[in-house]
Chains A and B, each alone.
Chain A
Amino acid sequence: MYDTGKVITGLVIFVGIFTFAFWYTAGTAAPRPEPKLDTPEIQKMAKKQCVEDTQFMITTHMQLLNKLRDQALRDGNRWYVNSKGEKVWISLQNTCLKCHSNKKDFCDKCHNYAGVDPYCWDCHIDPNRSEL
């Protein structure tokens, strides 16, 4: 092989640059987000339970929110009957964020970690802050 030294050096430099993102951030992985549940409303609850099971809410809250949004807005039915038969008033700002009054430490925590940017907040406001 001609120019072995140059080729090998070139390959090493190439692989180094190509994998830069991996070794540069190695060991600095962001810790798993721990959304906070210590809001005054939640503290007051006897049984700390959202409208559905915690596991269901973690994995499926987006589909549930989508479904409830259409039910409230398009069908005009603002009562959600959950799997336990309890009635819940459908409102992102007035029901969800009433308990989860810590949007920054709850919603944003996981959304930022997962790199998702739900457009809810383009219109909906955090009712616990009077200014934008």
Chain B
Amino acid sequence: MSMDRREFLKAAGLSAVAGLGAKGAFDLFMPGDVDASEHEGHSEHGEGHGGMAEAGPKVRLAMAIDVLQLKDHSKVDKIRAACDNAHNIPHWDSKDDEIKWIWEDEYEHVFPDSHNEYLADEVRELPFLLMCNHCDDPPCARVCPVEATFKRPDGIVAQDYHRCIGCRFCMAACPYGSRSFNWFDPRIPLKAEGRKLNPRFPTRMRGVVEKCNFCVERLAEGKKPACVEACPDVMIYGNLADPNSKIRKVLRERVSLRRKLELGTKPSVFYLV
């Protein structure tokens, strides 16, 4: 087939118009994936409190804390001591170096979004026990670049110290301040205090982030978490996915609060008031 210059230019021009038009049509009718990773993340974390009734996981561990009972401050000390001893948690003098697994604060700081100046004195002065919320959609796990922190199928947000590189992204991501960084060797204060260590649990090393692990090592052995064992009337743990569990029963009967719900992390620590 022969083609002169004039015909060639006509065909080329038409093809160009058709090509541009086709691209526009494609974009219009078949929009591409916006951000694959984001969608993936959601489907992965989609299970949990939301659709729990039918399709959710079989086990979803959670903690309910009966804060009204903490008026007796000796219980706070008892619970914190049980956790410290179970996990060889060091005590630093400076607040900057503090390692926190379970600690206390007042209502105003725990629920800054629902502070109310006419709040009952009784609640205002209560010590609230704070710990890792073991969120359903944990922001700490999402930002960890090495997957050192991850959500287990039973809902516990676990931390693998072998993998942690100490970048502290998770500390920035956690809206509850539940994570602490080992700026120094945690064995220094443990040694200085002359503490008797729990031989069944390791210490940590300098340069890793740590937090409450829901006593995953004790649950594996069929024991209760250390805080629950210390004060079973204050700390109530159980399986949210089981409607007959102790925690579901207490949540049905009592008014409960959760921290910073508006952030959508779906925390699993409930405060009974």
Contact = CB atoms under 8 A, between A and B. Distances in A.
Contacts of A130: 196-197, 199
A131 B197 contact: yes
Contacts of B152: 76
A125 interface: yes
Interface string A116-132: 00010011110110111
B197 A78 contact: no
A93 B200 CA distance: 6
A127 B197 CA distance: 9
Contacts of A122: 205
A128 B200 CA distance: 10
- Select the residue from A78, A119, A122, A130 with max chain B CB neighbours within 10 A: A122
Contacts of B203: 123, 125, 132
A125 B194 contact: no
Interface stretch (B49-57, B63-71, B154-162, B245-253): B154-162
Contacts of B88: 125
Interface in B195-236: 196-197, 199-205, 216, 220
Interface string A88-132: 000001100000000000000000000000010011110110111
A131 B198 CA distance: 10
B187 interface: yes
Nearest to A94: B200
Interface string A53-92: 0000000000000000100011010100000000000000
A95 B153 CA distance: 25
A132 B190 contact: yes
B242 to A, nearest CB: 19
- Select the residue from A123, A124, A127 with max chain B CB neighbours within 10 A: A123
* Main SS class of interface, B: loop
B169 interface: no
Contacts of B161: 123
Contacts of A69: 162
Contacts, number: 46
Contacts of B154: 76
A76 B152 CA distance: 8
B62 to A, nearest CB: 17
A125 B199 contact: yes
Contacts of A93: 199-202
- Select the residue from B88, B196, B220 with max chain A CB neighbours within 10 A: B220
Interface string A20-32: 0000000000000
B147 to A, nearest CB: 9
Contact of A78 (B153, B158, B202, B220): B220
B243 to A, nearest CB: 24
A123 B160 CA distance: 12
Nearest to A97: B199
A73 B190 CA distance: 25
A125 B162 CA distance: 15
Interface of B: 88, 150, 152-154, 158, 160-162, 187, 190-191, 194, 196-197, 199-205, 216, 220
12 contacts: A69-B162, A73-B160, A74-B150, A76-B153, A76-B216, A93-B199, A93-B200, A125-B88, A128-B199, A131-B197, A132-B190, A132-B203
Given A123-B205, A125-B199, A128-B199, 15 more contacts: A73-B162, A74-B158, A76-B153, A76-B220, A93-B199, A93-B202, A122-B205, A123-B203, A123-B204, A125-B88, A131-B194, A131-B196, A132-B191, A132-B197, A132-B203
